[in-house]
Amino acid sequence: MLTAALSREALAVDGASDGIAALEKLAVTSYSVIVVDLMMPRMDGFTFLDAFRKLPLPIRPLIFVMTAYDDLALLKLDATLVHGYLKKPFDVEQVVTLIRDAAEVLHRAEPAAVLPETASGDVARDVC
């Protein structure tokens, strides 16, 4: 539902069904914003974040975590890696506005981030 709502915006949006698929996309694509669900099959959000931390990315995207977990689980998140969290249930339109605004700010700050391809030929996208 969130991916569909984001796709209606002026954003380049990708979706990943789990953490492994997200890491595969990150191997070939740069993103401005990443939204991670802590409860995913195959590789959960915590494991994804651990693997993401080790990636040699030239530009670090903003990461928002969404979760139905209680506040104790949020304390396990690395504040230097995760920029915000969204507690389920959340208002989809408010989240779309947050992500759209974050991507726009990043594009203004990093003009190269809006190019359809990076210098290495990797694709640059707004949201994963």
Sorted by where each begins, the domain ranges of the chain are 2-127
Helix (H, G, I), strand (E, B) or coil at 72: helix
**What local confidence, expressed as pLDDT, does residue 26 receive?**
93
Assess whether pLDDT exceeds 60 at residue 116.
Answer: no
Helix (H, G, I), strand (E, B) or coil at 38: coil
Q: Residues 16-39: what's their mean pLDDT?
A: 93
Exposed/middle/buried for residue 1 (C-beta within 10 Å: 0-12, 13-18, 19+): exposed
**What local confidence, expressed as pLDDT, does residue 118 receive?**
34
The topology under which CATH files domain 2-127 is: Rossmann fold (3.40.50)
Helix (H, G, I), strand (E, B) or coil at 117: strand
Q: Which is higher by pLDDT, 69 or 107?
A: 69
**What local confidence, expressed as pLDDT, does residue 70 receive?**
82
Mean per-residue pLDDT over the chain, rounded: 84
Assess whether pLDDT exceeds 60 at residue 122.
Answer: no
Strand 84-87 with 123-127, pairing? unpaired
What pTM value is reported for the model?
Answer: 0.81
In order, the DSSP letters of 75-116 are TTS-TTT--EEEESS--HHHHHHHHHHHHHHHHHH-GGGGSS
